[in-house]
């Protein structure tokens, strides 16, 4: 959806109403809404009619969809594009498979390959899941060896699962807000 159409719909006005208010023909407004960039007088008139800044009408890819260029530290000559929408999807793909630990690593890894998002951040996501998959059974087994009863074992199992859900969701929030991971390791396991 074009910026003009989105802003026009937010103000709840039709193309004809915007045409009358701005003095720009309805046909020109249609062209802009299908992808043509407004310039000069047209840009100023539409911005004034919508009561917004001119730069708000210019087509800019949202930060969420915009891939970021990042140099890989391991191979500095290789430049990697990071699409934060894909990164968030890869991160959240672990949640449905928390109860089947190998899949909470395999599914995100498959998504990394298919989406061509092999970069530092996706390696960190997989590394965090690998570490959790190693540590969770160890903690669970230690809890069983303590012989504190079935209730304790059930509570421990629920806490282990919720800890992974929390890690995944906290990373998703951090990707949205700051374009980085909240829980990350100082090394990669892949």
The answer to whether 67 and 83 have CB atoms below 8 angstroms apart is: yes
pLDDT for 84-114, tens place per residue? Answer: 888 999 999 999 988 888 888 999 999 999 9
Q: Tell me the mean pLDDT in the region 7-26.
A: 89
pLDDT for 42-62, tens place per residue? Answer: 888 988 888 888 777 775 544
Share of the chain above pLDDT 70, in %: 87
* Integer Cα distance of 5 and 32 in angstroms: 9
* Integer Cα distance of 164 and 136 in angstroms: 9
Segment of 41-55, 67-81, 148-162 carrying the highest mean pLDDT? 148-162
Domains of the chain: 3-56 (1.10.260.40), 67-178 (no CATH)
pLDDT for 27-36, tens place per residue? Answer: 998 988 888 8
pTM: 0.59
* Integer Cα distance of 175 and 167 in angstroms: 12
Q: Which pLDDT value is given to residue 62?
A: 46
């Amino acid at each position: 959806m074009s910026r003009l159409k989105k802003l026009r719909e937010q103000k709840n006005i039709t193309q004809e109403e915007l045409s009358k208010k701005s003095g720009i023909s309805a046909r020109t407004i249609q062209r802009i809404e299908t992808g043509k960039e407004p310039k000069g007088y047209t840009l100023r008139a539409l911005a004034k009619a919508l009561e917004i800044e001119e730069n708000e009408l210019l087509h800019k890819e949202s930060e969420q969809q915009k891939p970021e260029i990042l140099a890989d530290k391991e191979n500095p000559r290789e430049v990697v594009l990071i699409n934060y929408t894909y990164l968030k999807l890869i991160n959240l793909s672990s949640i449905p498979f928390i109860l089947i630990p190998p899949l909470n690593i395999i599914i995100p890894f498959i998504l990394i390959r298919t989406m061509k998002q092999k970069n530092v951040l996706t390696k960190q996501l997989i590394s965090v899941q690998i570490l959790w998959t190693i540590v969770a059974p160890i903690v669970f087994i230690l809890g069983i060896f303590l012989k504190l009863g079935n209730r304790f074992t059930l509570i421990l199992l629920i806490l282990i699962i919720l800890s992974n859900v929390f890690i995944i969701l906290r990373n998703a929030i951090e990707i949205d807000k700051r374009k980085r991971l909240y829980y990350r390791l100082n090394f990669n396991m892949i």
